[in-house]
Structures are given as structure tokens and as C-alpha cells.
Structure 1
Amino acid sequence: MELILAFPVLCFSVLLLQWLRRVLNARSRLPLPPGPRGYPLIGNLLDIPKVMPWKAFGEWSKVYGDVLYLNIPTQPVLVLNSAQAVLDLLEKRSEIYSDRPPVVMDELIGLEWNFVVMGYTQKWRTHRREFHHYFHQRRIIEYHPIILQECRSFLRRALEDPAQLASHLRLTYASTILKITYDMDVDINSDYLYLVEKALECISPTRVPGAFWVEFLPFLKHVPSWVPGAYFKRHAERGKPLIKRMRDDAFDGVKARMAAGKARASIASDLIERLSGGKSLKVEDEELARNITGIAYAGKSVSMTVIRLILNVFSISLAAVDTTTYSAKAFLLGVSLYPEVKRKAQAELDRVVGPNRLPDFSDYDNLIYIQAIALESIRWMIIFPLGVSHRLICDDEYRGFFIPKGTTVIPNLWSILHNSEDYPEPMQFNPDRFIKNGRLDPDVRNPLTFTFGFGRRICPGRWLSSASIFMTIASVLHTMDVHAPTLDSESIDLFAVKTEGILMNLADIPFTLTARSKAAGKLIGDSALFS
């Protein structure tokens, strides 16, 4: 019904937009960047693969070059397949490439409070500034004790119940951010985690390619929910209360504890005190505080769990990607397939940390190989191979080509991080590629330059994520052996499995962790005494 309602208007809109685009392009006096020829009216709409599009874009770049233009009805798309193109546009010209494509369902379902999907506006700048205040590099040092506590809790859970390893990882990073943000203690059966799960179930369908025609024709958002075919409106009405609670419930708990004089230090309590100045919070300040704290956990969960992509128009509007849980899984896969990596890492840990204690952040500078494993885990299997899209806010020229205002710009991170010139034999898990003369090699392209976004839209939570990944790897390898007996590097096809649409999704592999020794097992058990 929705298709029947929208199709005539869509056809007319496509014809009009195509004509306007031709007129504007003719006036530019410059050609558009090269790309597949496409079809009349619908352009490249049918050319876009729905399975592993990053791989297809990489192949196309061999024909058309590293800057690839796709003519999609209602939305021009530019795919950047090289590090140079990404840095030239999204970094060096970030003042005009920092907007986000709008997603109508965000407005309808009540997710517009998440600043990572906001346009490049003053409201976004205010939210970004406040978030950065709590998550910049120097501030993360204050959270090291919490990261250590949660990593060691993970070790104990993994040793006690190795069959639930994936759940233990998810709980570890959820607990870390909730403790930092709200001083909230949770377990796997927490009501709040259940609430977030239900809210994400409502968000997820809004990201399915082509699921809602309102993304093609935004005026449909004004259609009443009772109209036949307006399923999108009814779906939004069901999800909106859950998403509001996902943002507000934990924040309201902090407010209640503060009123009772029982609140401990957290980002939420500090925000309330700082913005109120000891008085009652203004409405706009409370809204800002709710948004900032909600983004810290729920917003990052959204980005980890779903893809904000209407594939047919390629309007990606993700929260900057939290790679922590995924990178931890990639690390487990890497050391399972390449046991020599585990041996080298454990030799370094034995030398630097020794047998009588667990690693901590004071060991960071001396654990060069662990740092390299973290970098390789992030590079090797990136969860969002097409990164986070940007939108151009004015006409631009690049390499003699015209790029029209409103173009959605997609960085093909898979191509960049698997470029054999920068990373020889890129499908191998090889931390040694980052090391030279016993130190990290500054001449090797750092994957963190790309994984966490670009320019003014770079992920403000990247330092917390990087610290958590490092400590997880160090803690696991110092005390445990990783086993996945059904895997070997010859039999597993890393391209064919673990992919879902445009999301890299590591398969559920039966990893097991066992204590390296009785002494290591005792270290894990004793860590509970100091939590």
C-alpha cells in the first residue's frame, strides 16, 4: 500500500530532480566524477550491491578511479576509495564536508537528540563540546580504574562460564560506560539493558534498506498513522516511548540520588551540577544533559547494533562508530587463526608485567606488541566498512571534477584499510606490520586515522574505546589462552562469512578461554578482592 501511494509521486520527483541535476551540472562547466553509466531515470539505483558493497566499490575503483560517483535518484553519492581522497576532502575540507544526511525516521521515532545524527549546526557544536569535555584524551585517565575493574570482572566471568563469552564481552563494555556515565551497576539481566534492547529492536527496522518510503518522500511524514500504508508512522509511535526511556531512565535515577544526597561521582551528576550552578536546571540545560549522557551509552549502542542506511539513497547517518566489542572479537579471531601472535604477545607480557600481577595502564608504553595487536584488530575486520557518511554543504571541485551541493560522501574504509601498498597481505592478521626496531613504526598508516571518523565529525569517544581495547587484549593474553579448535587460517573464508548487508558481523565462533596456569587463575580470582 505504501508503494502504491508513493510510486506516482516518486516517478515525477525523479524526473524533475534528474532534469534539474542535468541543468545544474551543465552550468558547472566541469564534469562529474566518473562512475557506472546507470539507467535512464533511475541512474545507478540497480547497480548498488546489497551484499558487501564495499568490495564492489573497491573493484569499481580499478575501472573508474578512487573517486567514484553514483547517480542515485534524489541523492548524488560520492564514494572515496583511497586514503588520499578521504584526507583531501573529509579532513582538509571538513568545513564543508561535515554535514549529515537527514533521516526522517529519526525525527518520527524520537532519536533526533543523538548529536551524531544532527546536521552541522550550532546545536551540534554545543552537544559536541559538552561531550568532548568528558571524553577527551586527558580525561580518560580518570576512567582507567573503572576500565580495569570491568576488564578483570570479564576475566572472572569468562573463566567461570566460558560458554557465554560474547555476552561477557558485551556486558563488560556496557558496564564500563554506564558506570562512568551514571554510576550504574548492571548485570546481564539488568532492567535497563533490557529496555535498551527493546528500544533497539524498534530502531533496527528503520535501517533496513528501502524499508520506509518516507525516506524517499519526506512529506509522507505528515500522513496520519491510520491511513492504509502508513506503517512507518505506527512503527514510530510504538518505538518513541521506549527510545525516550532509553535516554531518560538512567538520568532520572541520578537526579533522584542527588536529591536524596546519595549520588556518587558520574558524568551525569557533574553535568547537572555544572550546568545548574547550584540552582535549578533550566529546561534547555537539562535537555542538553540528558542528551549528552544518553549518547554516551544508548547512542553508542545504536551505532553498534544497527546501520542507519537507506541503501537506495545511501544516506548513512551513524553515530561515530564504537568498535570496542567488535574489535575484541576480531582480536580473539586473529590470535586463534595465528597462534604465533599469541606467543609473541605473552612473551612480552611475561617480560614487562611478570607473573605476580595483572597488567595496568602504567605498562602501556612498554607493551608495544599489545598496542600493535590493538591496531591490527581495528584494521583487519572493521565493523562498518563504509564508515560514516558526510554531506557536502556547498558545490565543490576536486581534481577537475564538479561535486554538487548535497552529495552524500562515503569513505570506503575497507578499501583503505586493506590496501596492499599500505598493508602488504592485508587479509593476514599481522601486528608486526606496525613495528620497526622495537617501536611502533610512524611510517605505517595508522588505522585509527580512519576508523573513528574524520575532521570535525571524528568520534569524540575514541580515546575511551582505544583504552578499553588495549586493556582487554593485555588482560586476556596475560592470564589466558584463547582456543577455537575448529578454525584455521586456510579453511576460513573471511570475505564469505561474517557479513550482513553493509555490516561486518563476525560469526559466533566457539572461542574458549582457559587460564594459562594455576598462578594466572589465582591472579584472576584474587582480582575480585580489589574490585
Structure 2
Amino acid sequence: MKLLQLYNQSVGDKATMLFFALLSATIVVVLYIRRSATSTSGRPSLPPGLPRRSFGFLKTDLGMPAWKALSILHEKHGPVTSMYRGRKLIISLGTLKAATDLLEKRGNIYSSRPRNIMGCIHILPALFWNTHARVSFRSELMSGGMRGVNMPYGTKWRNWRTLMHAGLGIQATGGHELMQSLESKILLNDLLNEQDPAAYVTHIRRTLASISMTMAYGRRVEYFGDPIALRFILSATGIVLNDVYLVYFNWLPSSQPGKFLVESRFLQWFRRVPEAHRKIDTKVYMELLSEAKQKLANGETETVILRKALDKQTEYGLSDVELAFGLSAPFAAGVSTSSTSLEIFILAMLHHPHIMRKAQKDIDSVVGPLRLPEFEDLDSLPYITAIVKETLRWRPLFPLGIPHDSLADDVYEGFFIPAGSSVVWNAYLISRDEKLFPAPDEFRPERYLGSAKEGSPSDSEELDPSFVFGFGRRICPGMHIARNSLFIIITRLLWAFDIIPSKDSDGNAVLPPIALEDFVEALAIRPRPFSYIFRPRKDDQGHSLITQECKRAREELQMHG
């Protein structure tokens, strides 16, 4: 009898729980419908675009990548357009003026990030893979909200930005040039001695990984299979090796009834993978931080970011774990993006050999055959600087940028932008603005040079594709270091090598595709793997110079720890 009573009580409890669950769900639906139907009389209208019931983002209802779909909407509706992803309003800015007006001039409103509890974010692959994995390195579950790039606007993010600017900002660029120069000398030697063209990309990525890790932790990546570096790469890029497709679970506001249905850990099957990765990340970052602290205490290394972070740790209220995650930023942001930019440069040279020859002629006239190009040659090589700029513009890595989030209601050009909207800047469309960049689909470095400058930017700004690094307070703090890495590596590659197409079995040159539609689609794009050849353009004396410079570079890096 007692057992029967317990059974009946259990059934009753379950029925009660089911009733309240259904009631909560009903309340959520009713509130959602009422909110959707709330009159907006007296307010300006939202920017035109896709109807509210369109639920696509990475792939829209138009069946194409978001950057392309939004570009079509801009052609129809103008510089500001909108679409919904579930309940989230996405505002797309399609001109440099609109992006500057909102993201820079109204930075007090548009400097936050959308909340991303866990989302399917496709990002660039890890250092040692040519495959493309689905990852979510920016999500709260994956990082505990400790990655600065995705922090909402507030004190913690401002402190993180201060640390990054101290170590990566324009004032810090000179302090990294020696290390960038030494690593690129080693790269030349590695490429000169590499017999397998398919391995070129691994040498390029090792170089960029070593530059980034040295900046953050004072630790080089000396060889391709460095196990500690490999573990860090897996953590910093957030690779999800089992290719689990993650979905957003941040559609239900915390103020809504029924939130417990989503936040109940029993129902949150989706937490297991990212939380397991966060444990791995934390272990790796803490080990690297501990090693860097020890080396700093022993006088074996000196990194501006680490020194500044340790000096400010107490003032900023940072735990060791938060500090460790913060220091991973240069690596997580820099390796894949810079390596992709170099791949795009190589694509451009394969398809525009006349530009390569012109650049080599300039380099030879300034540098000659008896030494390598140096940073001191930068002002004497404006055509190389123009090639770097055009590489960044020609195929922008983030076609829709990284979303900002609006903190307050706003009105722009007669359109209402409600608080909580995600605001993206259509970098692809800006890069194709014929008023700024005539013949935008052409790779044309001359557009940035002297009397050949094209477009009509304002009197206070130079024609420059810096918009690819972001806007306002969220602009990439390492943009100047990234440009320096591209300059020294590109200049030395062109000094040492011709970049030529591979050949098929019949001896015909094979040019890889360059259309953006042929790239791997993700939050950040990249070319699909392609083949090419670095053909040495120097004689034995030049080869000997590269070997000697590599040896000296290794010795100097050893001395610097």
C-alpha cells in the first residue's frame, strides 16, 4: 500500500511538473507574440530587408552566403538593411560612411558584442591542418566569457583592450620588428630547402605561430610538430575535432518565464563538448602562463603584454585563469588570419605575374642581391606596401566583419535601430565600392600610389582598406603588427622567389580559382588548398646568404630566450 502511495505521489509530481512546464512554455509563446505585435507607432521604421519570419543567417532564405545575400539586399534597399535570425535583428551596414557613422562616431552605443552562449562559428583551421573544422571559440560555454574579442562592453573588456594595446598597438610595433625579421629569415631558409610544395603552408604557419606565441608568452615555435605549441593551437583556435554541429541557445531572454527549461543542466546536452574543451584550454593556458612567469622572473624573456598584464592583474581584478585566457588573444587572432592573407597574396601573384615582376624590380633596385630586405626599406618600397593593402582589400577575410551589439535605441538615416540589435559591417560590399575602389574586382596596387590614387575619401583620411580590421573601439589592436608581418614576409618572398603555378601531368600550368564563391565559407573565409611553387631566383651566392642569415637568426633568437 505504501509503495502504491509513493507511486501515485510520483505520478502526481510528474504531472504537476509537466503542467507547469506547459504553462511556462505557453506564457513564453504568448509574450513573444504580444511583443512581436506591439505597436511601434511614433517610431521610425526598421531598415528594410528580409521579412521577420526569415530565419537564416549563415545561409539565408536566398540560398547563398550571408555576405552575398545581404549585398543583394543593399543593392535593393540602400546602405542600411536588416534581417532576422530567429528573434535577433541583424542590421547590415553596406558603405564605409554608414559603418564609420555608427561604429566609430557612435561608439558609445555600438561597441558591445552580441551574447553568444554557444553557436556554430566557422573559423579558420588550426595551424597543422588543411581541413576545416566547425568551431565555437567565442562562445561563453567554450571560454567562460574570458575571450576579449567576444566580451560585452564594460570594465572587463576595457581592461583587456588596454592590455592588448600596450603590447600590440602602434606604439609597440617597433618592439616586435626584430623578432618578425628573425623568424622570416628562418622561413626563407625553410622554403628554400623544402622539396615538397604541399609543405610550404606549414612553414608559413609555423613562422606566424612563433611570432604570435613569442609576443604572448616569450616562447618560440621552433619546429612544425612542437607538442606544446600544438596543444596551444588546438586550444586557441577552439577546434572541435569530432565535428559536432553546435547551435545557438541564447534566443530565450533571462527575464522570460520558462527559462529553466533551457538552463536545466539535465537538458543541456550541448554543454558537454564546449565545457570539456574549456577544461583543456584552461590547463594549456595556465601551463604556458606559469612557464612565462618563471622565464620572466629568471630574466630569460621579456614580453610587453605579459609584463603589463602582471603589473595590472590586481588593479584589474583578474584571476590567473582570466589572465591566461587574455594572453592567448594574439595567437588566437593572429595565426590563421595572417596565414590566410599570405595565401591570398600568393593567389594574386599566380594570377597577376606582371605585378610580381614589377614588385621584384622595385625590390632589386632598392635592396640589391647582397642583403635581405629590412624594415628600414619600407619607405623606399611603396609598391610593396600597396600590395599589402590590396591583398587585404581584394579578398576581405571577414566578409561581414564581427558583429557589434547596440546598447541603446538609435535612429540613423531615418531608420530605427533598437537596442540589442546585432550590427554587421559588410566588408565585402565596402571593398567593392566603386566610388572608393574603381574596378574593384581587379587586383590593382597602383590605386594607392601617388597621382594614381583613386576614389574620393575625405580630406582627412588616406585611401586605405583598414576597414577590414574593424571599426571604432573594437578595431583589431594588432592590426599594425599584422601589416608589419605581411610586409617583411612578402618583401622577402619576392626577393628570394618567383611564385609560379604548378603543372598538371601534361605540363600545363594550373591556376587555382580566385572567386570568393570558391573560398571556404565561414565567419572568416579562406582559399581552398591549392598548389604552387616557390622557384628560387637567386644564384648560389644568394642561397648562401639565406643560409647564413638563417643561422644568425637562430643564434640571436636563442640568445633572446
The two structures share one fold, judged by TM-score above 0.5: yes
Aligned-partner Cα distance in 2 for 1:166–1:188: 11
CA offset at residue 72 of structure 1? 3.3
Q: 492, 500, 503: which is aligned to 2:513?
A: 492
Alignment-derived partner of residue 272 in structure 2:
234
Q: Does 2:307 match 1:270?
A: yes
SS in structure 2 of the partner of residue 30 of structure 1: coil
Alignment-derived partner of residue 20 in structure 1:
35
Alignment-derived partner of residue 456 in structure 1:
473
Alignment-derived partner of residue 358 in structure 1:
372
Cα deviations across residues 357-402 of structure 1 (Å, max 9, x unaligned)? 1111111111000000000110111121111110110000011111
Alignment-derived partner of residue 207 in structure 2:
172
Structure 1 residues 61 and 176, CA, compared in 2 at 3 Å: closer, same or farther?
same
Aligned-partner Cα distance in 2 for 1:7–1:53: 36
Aligned-partner Cα distance in 1 for 2:494–2:333: 30
CA offset at residue 243 of structure 1? 1.5
Aligned-partner Cα distance in 2 for 1:470–1:496: 27
Structure 1 residues 221 and 296, CA, compared in 2 at 3 Å: closer, same or farther?
farther
Alignment-derived partner of residue 293 in structure 1:
327
Structure 1 residues 182 and 44, CA, compared in 2 at 3 Å: closer, same or farther?
closer
Q: Does 2:540 match 1:507?
A: no
Alignment gaps of 5+ in structure 1: 1-5, 305-322
Alignment gaps of 5+ in structure 2: 1-20, 119-138, 254-258, 554-561
Residues 438-477 of structure 1 correspond to what in structure 2 (within 5 A)?
A: 446-477=463-494
Structure 1 residues 233 and 164, CA, compared in 2 at 3 Å: closer, same or farther?
same
SS in structure 2 of the partner of residue 77 of structure 1: strand
- The residue identity in structure 2 corresponding to 1:495 is L
Alignment-derived partner of residue 319 in structure 1:
none
Q: 288, 291, 294: which is aligned to 1:256?
A: 294
Q: Does 2:413 match 1:399?
A: yes
Alignment-derived partner of residue 3 in structure 2:
none
Structure 1 residues 204 and 18, CA, compared in 2 at 3 Å: closer, same or farther?
farther
Cα deviations across residues 287-315 of structure 1 (Å, max 9, x unaligned)? 564343222223545xx4xxxxxxxxxxx
- The residue identity in structure 2 corresponding to 1:61 is H
CA contact under 8 A between 1:53 and 1:502: conserved in structure 2?
Answer: no
Aligned-partner Cα distance in 2 for 1:205–1:360: 40
Alignment-derived partner of residue 195 in structure 1:
231
Alignment-derived partner of residue 318 in structure 2:
284
CA offset at residue 205 of structure 1? 8.2
CA offset at residue 35 of structure 1? 1.1
- The residue identity in structure 2 corresponding to 1:387 is G
Aligned-partner Cα distance in 2 for 1:389–1:207: 24
Q: 113, 127, 130: which is aligned to 2:146?
A: 113
Structure 1 residues 13 and 339, CA, compared in 2 at 3 Å: closer, same or farther?
farther
Aligned-partner Cα distance in 1 for 2:172–2:422: 33
Alignment-derived partner of residue 341 in structure 2:
327
CA contact under 8 A between 1:246 and 1:294: conserved in structure 2?
Answer: no
Alignment-derived partner of residue 546 in structure 2:
524
Aligned-partner Cα distance in 2 for 1:62–1:439: 26
Alignment-derived partner of residue 313 in structure 1:
none
Aligned-partner Cα distance in 2 for 1:440–1:421: 8
Alignment-derived partner of residue 311 in structure 1:
none
Alignment-derived partner of residue 96 in structure 2:
83
Alignment-derived partner of residue 164 in structure 2:
131
Q: Does 2:87 match 1:74?
A: yes
Aligned-partner Cα distance in 2 for 1:413–1:208: 29
| Worse overlay, 286-295 or 508-517 | 286-295
Alignment-derived partner of residue 93 in structure 1:
106
- Count of residues in correspondence between the two structures: 495
- The residue identity in structure 1 corresponding to 2:293 is K
CA offset at residue 498 of structure 1? 1.4
Structure 1 residues 352 and 203, CA, compared in 2 at 3 Å: closer, same or farther?
same
TM-score by length of 2: 0.80
Structure 1 residues 464 and 8, CA, compared in 2 at 3 Å: closer, same or farther?
farther
Structure 1 residues 222 and 204, CA, compared in 2 at 3 Å: closer, same or farther?
same
Structure 1 residues 163 and 491, CA, compared in 2 at 3 Å: closer, same or farther?
closer
Alignment-derived partner of residue 66 in structure 2:
53
Structure 1 residues 19 and 281, CA, compared in 2 at 3 Å: closer, same or farther?
closer
RMSD, aligned α-carbons: 3.2
CA contact under 8 A between 2:389 and 2:464: conserved in structure 1?
Answer: yes
TM-score by length of 1: 0.84
Structure showing greater Rg = 2
Cα deviations across residues 273-296 of structure 1 (Å, max 9, x unaligned)? 6348xxx99973645643432222
Alignment-derived partner of residue 219 in structure 2:
184
CA offset at residue 493 of structure 1? 5.3
Aligned-partner Cα distance in 1 for 2:283–2:515: 39
